């Protein structure tokens, strides 16, 4: 008898769930709807949205949008400059930036204006981080864990990408406290991230194999994979049940399998994967 255990905290977080729900509702109204970049890092959801009239806008909004098109700002948020561009191109901008991310925008703007140099812990190519940097005039120092070669400013305001690992935050703050004169540190790692990471940590210690479900470009899912793999060598990272199929023979040898999913993985994908297992 095989036991499949779903992590206590897995799947859609509050910010993603709100954005996806609202996007489907807007799409159902029949008018063309765009999201500025993919709404979430999950291809299945992006495809479903397309079927519901919600398209991804990759190009310059100035060229692609008509004034009465609806355009959504996704939960990752956008730089102030891009928000302005969107508003100049469309009269119907729907801002679905997660409130926790908007809060980071406020913090960095306020501190940049007070003369602090902002340090962002995160991935410099991730849209959330690029958006945050935009709110402090694109002048932030962006680091992965603080051990990099950079000059610590005297007056620092530190924030983190919402999906960061706590150990990276601790490492950054340790370095800043040793070298800066004045620090304002805002641990902006989202509680949803922490809960998913802790549940994955616990579960991956007590099973023989783990299945991590989520988009390959999803930062928070990748971190769940890393955590799980640390404790459980038999960790499989898949986007959906379809991709899991190739491992089902291999997985038959395990009697206790854990399942977890990133904050951008919808319930129906988790359910399909569990049914397959």
Positions 65 through 84 that interact with ligand F3S (CB under 6 A) = 75
Smallest distance from ligand F3S to CB 131, Å: 12
Nearer to ligand F3S, 131 or 258 (CB): 131
Residue 98 lies near ligand F3S (rule: CB under 6 A): yes
Residue 260 lies near ligand F3S (rule: CB under 6 A): no
Positions 14 through 53 that interact with ligand F3S (CB under 6 A) = 14-16
Residue 118 lies near ligand F3S (rule: CB under 6 A): no
In 3D space, the residue among 141, 134, 128 whose CA is nearest the CA of residue 193 turns out to be 128
3-state SS assignment for residue 179: helix
* Cα distance between residue 53 and residue 23, in whole Å: 9
* Cα distance between residue 260 and residue 209, in whole Å: 11
Smallest distance from ligand F3S to CB 245, Å: 29
Cβ–Cβ < 8 Å for 121, 158: yes
Q: 172, 190, 269, 277: which one contacts ligand F3S (CB under 6 A)?
A: 190
Token output for 110: 């306020």
Given the rule CB under 6 A, which of 30-38, 142-150, 166-174, 187-195 is the region that contacts ligand F3S?
187-195
Residue 186 lies near ligand F3S (rule: CB under 6 A): no
Nearer to ligand F3S, 203 or 263 (CB): 263
Residue 153 lies near ligand F3S (rule: CB under 6 A): no
* Cα distance between residue 264 and residue 262, in whole Å: 5
Q: 10, 71, 93, 101: which one contacts ligand F3S (CB under 6 A)?
A: 101
Smallest distance from ligand F3S to CB 13, Å: 3
Please name the helix (run of DSSP H) or strand (run of DSSP E) that holds residue 239, with its range, or none: none
Residue 97 lies near ligand F3S (rule: CB under 6 A): no
Nearer to ligand F3S, 16 or 232 (CB): 16
Binding residue count for ligand F3S, defined by CB under 6 A: 13
Q: How many CA atoms lie within 13 A of 164 on its CB side?
A: 29
Residues marked as catalytic: 128
Residue 213 phi, psi dihedral angles, 5° rounding = -110, 130
3-state SS assignment for residue 111: helix
Count other Cβ atoms within 10 Å, centred on residue 97: 22
Smallest distance from ligand F3S to CB 145, Å: 20
Q: 89, 193, 197, 234: which one contacts ligand F3S (CB under 6 A)?
A: 193
* Cα distance between residue 213 and residue 10, in whole Å: 9
Site residues for ligand F3S per CB under 6 A: 13-16, 75, 98, 100-101, 162, 190, 192-193, 263
């Amino acid at each position: 008898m095989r036991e499949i255990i779903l992590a206590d905290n897995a799947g859609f977080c509050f910010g993603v769930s709100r954005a996806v729900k609202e996007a489907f509702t807007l799409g159902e109204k029949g008018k063309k709807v765009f999201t500025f970049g993919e709404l979430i890092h999950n291809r299945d959801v992006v495809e479903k949205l397309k079927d519901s009239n919600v398209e991804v806008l990759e190009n310059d909004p100035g060229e692609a949008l008509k004034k009465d098109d609806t355009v959504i700002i996704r939960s990752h948020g956008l730089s102030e400059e891009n928000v302005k561009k969107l508003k100049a191109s469309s009269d119907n901008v729907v801002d679905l930036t997660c409130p926790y991310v908007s809060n980071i925008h406020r913090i960095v703007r306020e501190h940049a204006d007070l003369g602090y140099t902002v340090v962002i812990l995160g991935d410099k190519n991730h849209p959330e981080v690029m958006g945050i940097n935009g709110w402090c005039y694109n002048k932030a120092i962006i680091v992965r864990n603080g051990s990099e070669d950079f000059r610590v400013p005297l007056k620092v305001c530190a924030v983190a990408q919402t999906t960061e690992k706590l150990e990276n935050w601790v490492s950054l703050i340790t370095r800043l406290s040793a070298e800066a004169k004045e620090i304002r540190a805002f641990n902006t790692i989202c509680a949803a991230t922490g809960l998913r990471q802790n549940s994955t940590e616990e579960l991956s210690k007590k099973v023989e194999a783990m299945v991590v479900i989520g988009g390959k470009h999803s930062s928070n899912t990748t971190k769940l994979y890393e955590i799980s793999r640390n404790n459980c060598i038999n960790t499989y990272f898949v986007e959906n049940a379809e991709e899991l199929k190739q491992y089902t023979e291999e997985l038959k040898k395990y009697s206790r399998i854990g399942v977890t999913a990133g904050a951008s993985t919808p319930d129906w994908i988790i359910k399909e994967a569990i049914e397959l297992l």
